[in-house]
Amino acid sequence: MKNNAYTFTLLVAFCAGLLLFPAFAVQAQQLGVFEKNNDVGTVKKAGSATFNASTGQYQLSGSGTNIWGDHDEFQFMWKQLKGDFILYSRGNLVGKGVDPHRKIGWMVRTSLDSKSANVNTSIHGDGLTALQFRRSTGAATEEVRSTVTAPDVFQLERRGGKYIMKVARFGEPFVISEITDVNLGDEVYVGLFICAHNPDVTEKATFRDVRISIPARENFVPYKEYIGSQIELMDVTTGNRQIIYTSPKSLQAPNWTPDGKDLIYNAEGLMYTFNLAKKTPQVLNTDFVKKNNNDHVLSFDGKMLGLSSSSGDPKYGSMVYTVPVTGGKPKQITPTGPSYLHGWSPDGKSLLFTGERNKEFDIYKVPVGGGPEVRLTTAQGLDDGSEYTPDGKYIYFNSNRTGTMQIWRMRPDGSQQETVTTGEYNDWFPHVSPDGKWMVMLSFDKKEVKSDDHPFYKHVYLRLMPIAGGQPKIIAYLYGGQGSINTPSWSPDSKRIAFISNTDMSTPAAVK
């Protein structure tokens, strides 16, 4: 009987474990990138948190008197992290609300105690926005107010001992506030919060495009060391983003095939085809051409793929090749290098590439079957990122000939070169939509990145501009860089783009 009882006890425990483990898994799935949620402080009305995996949206509901003074009351959806991080989201309070000081935002706390030291982005119902912080347990809350009212895009970054709040109304550039003298310790709770600012009321908020990114460590070696990647798709009208694939490797430059079925990208020198229905990658055979970089482009009919690779003579560096999109043995096009491919003419007869000749980078045109190269730009400085419009009437490119990297355009023979952007940012890689109406570009902050540098792992904007002219609009705020969108990546219907965002997956930043 003793043995039978013991066996029965083990069986009960085992079955209980089977029930518990799925429960944990379901909760993790329900909370997306977060681990748990709970009310902080003594609240009258319990809050809640949900995650809709199909839309990528989170919803928080919560009560609480305030996040202020020496203690807090609010609903918190969180995970534990160590080291540096970047917290990004778009979000809004739901409805008119009761108290104008109901608030939402990102928060970083030392503990879940109501008196915990913390730093948070506090966006109030009346539009007031502040970087709030409590320096130590039970201390009074302080703030640095932003000049932005009612932002719906907000980011909180920890970089060493500095906390940086960036806020904006979607489509506009970030406005920055920061503090440098609050020490929360290495291990912290990070997450989204809501506070009703009224103990008898429950308020709601929705959040989307939530990203928790771990930046490259401070001493990493550019172009020799890399961090993880996320392939994202974006609706250019709404700005809604969806991560469809994640890898600890450096994935770069997704091309969208004209049939809409696949993406083609490079990783660790190889080319990959990514099936959008199955969400699976497969190596694309490029035979002896193995050292492919992120300058690759599809022909307009989708039958051929142009490559840039350093697989040939080392003294030339990158060379241009073409290969059937289904794979095969590539054909070398440029006889010398360095040569970096960027454009394919709509009639399929010419290729555009950036070539370094006599220590000067210019844009060249070459017949698709090989032959004499024609120099299209002659100005001093770096000319790069050339691409035909779908009607073949213009070539768009980027150039820093004025001291700032700007978008330019010219006729296919190199004539009528003129600026398109104003120089507010260092703008790279103009990509024209298949319908010929829009252009998307990669924009670096001039204070962070020099005009002739297009690095990995920086804060960048993706900006959308009408081809007919007008003010560019920011459609994505991301941690990425040159590999994010340096080749054409529009969907065939001109409604979406594909791009790469980055996060370090090699460092165990999350606390288990």
Whether residue 508 lies inside any domain: the answer is no
Q: Which pair of structure tokens corresponds to residue 471? A: 């003010």
Q: Are residues 162 and 232 in the same domain?
A: no
CA distances from 55 to 17, 59, 463, 474 (A): 31, 11, 23, 22
Task: From 78, 87, 154, 90, select the one nearest 116 (Cα to Cα).
Answer: 78
Residues in a beta bridge with 280: 275
Q: Are residues 277 and 173 in the same domain?
A: no
Q: Which tens digits make up the pLDDT trace of 95-142?
A: 999 999 999 999 999 999 999 999 999 999 999 999 999 999 999 999
Residue 269 near residue 276 (C-beta atoms within 8 A): no
Q: Are residues 241 and 343 in the same domain?
A: yes
For residues 249 and 187, what is the distance between their CA atoms, to the nearest angstrom? 26
* 4 has a pLDDT exceeding 60: no
For residue 254, what is the domain's CATH number?
2.120.10.30
Residue 511 has a pLDDT of 55
* 23 has a pLDDT exceeding 60: no
Strand spans (E) along 44-186: 48-52, 57-62, 67-68, 71-72, 74-82, 85-93, 103-109, 118-124, 129-134, 142-145, 153-159, 162-168, 175-179
Whether residue 293 lies inside any domain: the answer is yes
3-state secondary structure of 70: coil
Q: Are residues 396 and 330 in the same domain?
A: yes
Cβ partners under 8 Å of residue 38, min gap 6: 75, 76, 112
Q: Which tens digits make up the pLDDT trace of 397-411?
A: 999 999 999 999 999
Residue 400 near residue 407 (C-beta atoms within 8 A): no
Q: Which tens digits make up the pLDDT trace of 231-271?
A: 999 999 999 999 999 999 999 999 999 999 999 999 999 99
Q: Which tens digits make up the pLDDT trace of 163-188?
A: 999 999 999 999 999 999 999 999 99
Q: Are residues 306 and 445 in the same domain?
A: yes
* 58 has a pLDDT exceeding 70: yes
Start-to-end C-alpha separation, the chain: 41
Whether residue 26 lies inside any domain: the answer is no
Q: Which pair of structure tokens corresponds to residue 207? A: 């959040």
Q: Which pair of structure tokens corresponds to residue 174? A: 């970030």
For residue 57, what is the domain's CATH number?
2.60.120.200
Whether residue 510 lies inside any domain: the answer is no
Whether residue 23 lies inside any domain: the answer is no
Task: From 209, 199, 93, 204, select the one nearest 151 (Cα to Cα).
Answer: 93
Three-state SS for 296-345 is CEECCCCCEEEEEECCCCCCCCCEEEEEECCCCCCEECCCCCCEEEEEEC
3-state secondary structure of 491: coil
* 277 has a pLDDT exceeding 50: yes
Q: Which tens digits make up the pLDDT trace of 301-351?
A: 999 999 999 988 888 899 999 999 999 999 999 999 999 999 999 999 999
Final residue of a structural domain among 213, 244, 277: 213
How many domains, the chain? Answer: 2
For residues 104 and 204, what is the distance between their CA atoms, to the nearest angstrom? 9
**Mean pLDDT, the chain, whole residue set:** 92
Please tell me the total number of residues recorded for the chain in this structure.
Answer: 512
User: Which helix (DSSP H) or strand (DSSP E) does residue 78 occupy?
Assistant: strand 74-82
What amino acid is encoded at 502 in this protein?
Answer: N
For residues 375 and 277, what is the distance between their CA atoms, to the nearest angstrom? 41
Residue 311 has a pLDDT of 85
* Boundaries of domain holding 246: 228-503
Residue 508 has a pLDDT of 63
Contacts 24+ apart (CB under 8 A), 327-330: 327/284, 327/285, 327/286, 328/285, 328/286, 328/287, 329/287, 329/288, 330/286, 330/287, 330/288, 330/289
Q: Are residues 192 and 233 in the same domain?
A: no
Q: Are residues 280 and 330 in the same domain?
A: yes
